[in-house]
């Protein structure tokens, strides 16, 4: 059961990585695997085999989530993206109280709350500003390499949604199509870029979490809030306008009702998942969390 739970976590992290408006890092934080993963990536030599066994189902799940959801992107997601996004925002809502408690485990100072608020407002402003400046970039191996680095930032920096930026650059659909059909001209440079990014930044992030636990965790809370709020004006609300309704084939009342149902369902599922997880003691493998 524990192995299966980690596989499911990894799958949701992979889906969160490719879903516009969210980030794989946020999902990893929500499921309590971000801190140990960053410490593992920062120092492979420490408890190597023990951690490989622990993270193997998570890595498998991440791959499954990315590949499987890439096939959904071209079909259902393009038509019902507002509803899908509401489902994942529900996942965040259901676990936010737990995140808040975790952030305050070593004390909570007024400055930590300030960090959370400023981070949320700054990220919200950046994402909303970027929505107004779409740029088309011609795909190439170099472009896919840097896209892979950008994509990996969604794991390393919780709250950053690389999919949003790839949409801004006109690369998101092309990336999803490439992954869906296993186009290695897209997958290989994406993967190389992601690996380079992880190797360069994971040690830095591990240091920051060890040295500034409260500040970094409240920074993450801010990114969770900011990135979650940003998807409503960027993705959800446009789906309720005339063009969005015509694209989905839904009436306004049905579109709103389905979105609310998905939001509630995501919240309930994440809460139930947390209840199941409480039956299994989560032991930090590296660095503590």
Per-10-residue mean pLDDT of the chain, 289 residues long, equals 86 79 72 81 82 90 85 69 82 77 85 94 80 67 92 74 68 83 91 89 81 88 81 83 88 94 89 63 40
Say if 283 falls within a structural domain.
no
Other Cβ atoms closer than 10 A to 194: 23
Say if 123 falls within a structural domain.
yes
pLDDT at 283: 42
pLDDT at 132: 55
Say if 33 falls within a structural domain.
yes
Residue labelled with tokens 């989560």: 282
Domain count, the chain: 1
Nearest-angstrom CA–CA distance, 132 and 79:
21
pLDDT at 146: 92
DSSP letter string, 209-269:
HHH-HHHHHHHHHHHHHHHHHHHIIIIIGGGGSHHHHHHHT--HHHHHHHHHHHHHHHHHH
Say if 286 falls within a structural domain.
no
Nearest-angstrom CA–CA distance, 142 and 18:
20
pLDDT at 119: 92
Domain of residue 174: give its range. 2-277
pLDDT at 271: 79
**How far is CA 12 from its chain centroid?**
9
Beta-carbon-side half-sphere exposure of residue 227 (alpha carbons within 13 Å): 32
Say if 241 falls within a structural domain.
yes
pTM of the complete model: 0.66
DSSP letter string, the chain:
-HHHHHHHHHHHHHHHHHSTT--HHHHHHHTT-HHHHHHHHH-TTTTHHHHHHHHHHHHHHHHHHHHHHHHHIIIIIHHHHHHHHHHHHHHHHHHHHHHHHHHTTT---HHHHHHHHHHHHHHHHHHHHHTT--------HHHHHHHHHHHHHHHHSTT--HHHHHHHTT-HHHHHHHHHTT-HHHHHHHHHHHHHHHHHHHHHHHHHHHH-HHHHHHHHHHHHHHHHHHHIIIIIGGGGSHHHHHHHT--HHHHHHHHHHHHHHHHHHHHHHHHHHTTS-----SS--
Say if 285 falls within a structural domain.
no
Say if 196 falls within a structural domain.
yes
Say if 124 falls within a structural domain.
yes
pLDDT at 74: 63
Nearest-angstrom CA–CA distance, 167 and 174:
10
**Rg of the chain, C-alpha, whole Å:** 18
């Amino acid at each position: 059961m524990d192995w299966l739970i980690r596989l499911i976590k990894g799958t949701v992290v992979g889906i969160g990585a490719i879903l516009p408006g969210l980030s794989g890092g946020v999902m990893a934080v929500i499921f309590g695997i971000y801190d140990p993963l960053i410490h593992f990536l920062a120092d492979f030599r420490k408890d190597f085999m023990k951690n490989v066994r622990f993270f193997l189902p998570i890595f498998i799940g991440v791959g499954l989530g990315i590949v499987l959801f890439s096939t959904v992107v071209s079909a259902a997601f393009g038509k019902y993206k507002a509803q899908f996004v509401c489902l994942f925002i529900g996942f965040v809502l259901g676990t936010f109280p737990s995140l808040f408690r975790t952030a305050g485990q070593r004390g909570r100072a007024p400055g930590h709350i300030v960090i959370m608020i400023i981070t949320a407002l700054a990220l919200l402003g950046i994402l909303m500003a970027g929505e107004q400046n779409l740029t088309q970039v011609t795909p190439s191996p170099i472009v896919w390499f840097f896209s892979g680095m950008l994509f990996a930032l969604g794991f390393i920096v919780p709250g950053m949604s690389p999919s949003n930026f790839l949409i801004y650059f006109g690369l998101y659909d092309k990336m999803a199509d490439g992954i869906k059909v296993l186009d290695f001209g897209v997958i290989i440079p994406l993967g190389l870029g992601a690996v380079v990014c992880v190797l360069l930044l994971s040690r830095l992030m591990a240091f920051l979490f060890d040295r500034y636990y409260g500040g970094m965790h409240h920074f993450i809370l801010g990114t969770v809030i900011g990135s979650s709020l940003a998807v409503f004006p960027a993705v959800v609300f446009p789906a309720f306008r005339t063009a969005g309704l015509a694209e989905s084939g839904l009436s306004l009342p049905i579109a709103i009702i389905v979105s609310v149902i998905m939001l509630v369902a995501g919240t309930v599922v994440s809460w139930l998942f947390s209840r199941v997880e409480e039956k299994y003691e989560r032991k930090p493998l590296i660095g503590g969390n």
